[in-house]
Structure 1
Amino acid sequence: MIRTILVPVRGDGKGDNVLAHAAVLAHRYDAHVTVAHCRPRPEDLMPYGVHIPEFLRNQIVRQSYQVADQEEEGMREEVLVLAEKLRLDLSGDNIGRTATVAFLAEAGRQVDVIKRRGRLADLIAVAKPDRDRNLGHNTLKAALFHSGRPVLMCPHAETPPATLGAHVSLAWNGSAEAARALSQCISVLRTADAVSILSNGSDSGPGTSAEDLVDFLRLHGIAATIVKFDSRGKTGRELLKASAAAGADMMVMGAYGDSHERETVFGGNTQTVVDTATTPVIFNH
């Protein structure tokens, strides 16, 4: 079951949408949300390999602290407002008994904060990367490749979804990546009202078919339905279409069977889902 959710933020305007998605899950599971603001360190802002006079270096340090303090105070106030709007308890007295939230400020690069804080989170919630503005790719990549935890990608939404986790779809092809997604998210499947297995009929041989998965889940007390989809189109797009047609509010899938760089350059099922998803997806790598 999801009891802890990490939401890394850095003042790019996407944190409120991600927190709204995390809040829906927090209410479902009585989970605790940690909003982690990643403060840039002055040394991370210094140009590499360029000599800087001491007076200029001191000025950059002072100004960077001032900017970081202002940004942190703004983020803290925003979390206070959002917590009330999203009905998240900020008192710190009811963690584990209801949907709660806490604000955490930590100095360092966001990718490093995600690595450290994410490893003891049940779920890391991040914004869907913005390819046009080249925002969010490193955040998603750090969460997926360096935390060892499931990552919820939240597409932009004018209003947060009414439910998440009520009807979950699982992308299945019998691969090691799909099996890892199943293992890491089986508690999400167990608490769902409905589970749909998305399959185009391909698998890794005997013992890995969608039918075998139905039997496996039944032993875990999970009733699942197989949803077949046509594999003649782009598999990533067809997965999303099949998930939406089944009525799922969230999809679970293994991510980047090929390397992230190869899929980014040449395309791949995961990258297609990252680029085109309009509903939340939990990735596992």
Structure 2
Amino acid sequence: MAAHEVVAVIEEATTARRCLTVAQRAAQLVGAMPLSALHICVDPEKLIAAAEEWDLQKMRELNEGSAKDRLAQARRVFEQWVGFSGAQVKWLEHVGDITSSLIAEVKDAALIAIAQPHNLDSADALHAAIFNTGRPVLFVPTEGPLPTTLGEHTVIAWKPRTQARKAITRTMPWLRAAKHITIIAVDESETGQDCDEILGLLKEQNLSADVRHVRTEQGQHIAARILSEAAEVNADSIVMGAFRFGQIFEWVFGGVTHEVLRRTKLPVFMMH
């Protein structure tokens, strides 16, 4: 069965509205694709897990309430958002561990939308979405105002890497919907040949793009350069490959994906 829906993963009530809003825009961009909202209820009473994991989940209740409390809060925000927006959205809830539950629920997903995590469940969900589902992920930042549009001007952060190629291929429905595409190549050759591959991929879909070759300044992180260029061209979204070296490595050494997700105020389409 072909992937045919956008799934917004709602693990935190505080970020649910933002995630749903961006997910709805993404669904509307590609022919009113069906939208579902998923909450995974990590209930320690129903988990088969090590004692340490069980204890950790129980300790969370002191700060975040029980798993049932978190579910009720997320569902309440979802219902308020649906009432306000008038959107037709299917509600899904799954009790179990994050990874297996997410994999089970996104089998028909063309895209997984998930907000910047602020608790353990959403952090685990983001990791599982990127590394375990085989689906493209739309990362929704939670700091600062969101752009008023999505996909009108998309920036592709290009490196000739497997992850970037997969990101472009799997997000092609959204690239086809874009009014303007800009390719940003940071610290690459300025001969233009480094972008021949991506230009060829776009041309196969009858798409064209502007190309910007830029250099990082002394001491500037590549992620900062990507984001400053995206701001310069007034982009409203980014497409990029995710975690070439793995999440832990990038967290320790400040990899590009980790830093983009930490700093971005734009939604990011990405694929590992």
Measured against the shorter chain, the TM-score band is 0.7 to 0.9
Give the Cα–Cα distance (whole angstroms) in 2 for the partners of residues 20 and 158 of structure 1: 15
Cα distance, 1:6 vs structure 2: 1.1
Give the Cα–Cα distance (whole angstroms) in 2 for the partners of residues 68 and 138 of structure 1: 15
Give the Cα–Cα distance (whole angstroms) in 2 for the partners of residues 49 and 15 of structure 1: 29
Structure 1 counterpart SS, 2:232: helix
- Say which one has the larger Rg: 1
Report the equivalent of 1:22: 23
Structure 2 counterpart SS, 1:140: helix
Pick the aligned partner of 1:109 from 75, 88, 97.
97
1:199/1:160 CA distance change after superposition, 3 Å: closer
Aligned residues: 256
- Say whether the 8 Å CA contact 1:214–1:225 is kept in structure 2: no
Report the equivalent of 1:82: 81
Give the Cα–Cα distance (whole angstroms) in 1 for the partners of residues 146 and 226 of structure 2: 22
1:276 aligns with 2:263: yes
Cα distance, 1:157 vs structure 2: 5.3
Could you tell me which amino acid in structure 1 is paired with residue 221 of structure 2? K
Q: In terms of mean alpha carbon deviation, does 249-258 or 12-21 score higher?
A: 12-21
State the identity as a percent: 23
Structure 1 residues 203-218: aligned runs within 5 Å: 209-218=194-203
Cα RMSD after superposing both structures:
3.0
User: Runs of 5+ in structure 2 lacking a partner?
Assistant: 54-64
Give the Cα–Cα distance (whole angstroms) in 2 for the partners of residues 134 and 273 of structure 1: 20
Report the equivalent of 1:53: none
Instruction: Summarize deviations over 1:137-174 as a string: whole Å, max 9, x none.
Output: 32211100000111111111566532111111111111
Report the equivalent of 1:54: none
Instruction: Summarize deviations over 1:10-29 as a string: whole Å, max 9, x none.
Output: 34522222112112222333
Pick the aligned partner of 2:154 from 168, 175, 179.
168
Structure 1 counterpart SS, 2:14: coil
Give the Cα–Cα distance (whole angstroms) in 2 for the partners of residues 37 and 165 of structure 1: 26
Cα distance, 1:258 vs structure 2: 0.6
Structure 2 counterpart SS, 1:220: coil
Give the Cα–Cα distance (whole angstroms) in 1 for the partners of residues 193 and 87 of structure 2: 41
TM-score by length of 2: 0.83
Give the Cα–Cα distance (whole angstroms) in 1 for the partners of residues 27 and 125 of structure 2: 21
Structure 2 counterpart SS, 1:13: helix
- Say whether the 8 Å CA contact 1:116–1:147 is kept in structure 2: no
Instruction: Summarize deviations over 1:158-203 as a string: whole Å, max 9, x none.
Output: 6653211111111111111111111111221111100011112527
Cα distance, 1:49 vs structure 2: 7.4
Pick the aligned partner of 1:48 from 38, 46, 51.
51
1:186/1:207 CA distance change after superposition, 3 Å: farther
Cα distance, 1:43 vs structure 2: 3.3
Pick the aligned partner of 1:121 from 104, 109, 118.
109
Give the Cα–Cα distance (whole angstroms) in 2 for the partners of residues 21 and 119 of structure 1: 21
Report the equivalent of 2:141: 155
Pick the aligned partner of 1:143 from 129, 151, 163.
129
Give the Cα–Cα distance (whole angstroms) in 2 for the partners of residues 216 and 77 of structure 1: 43
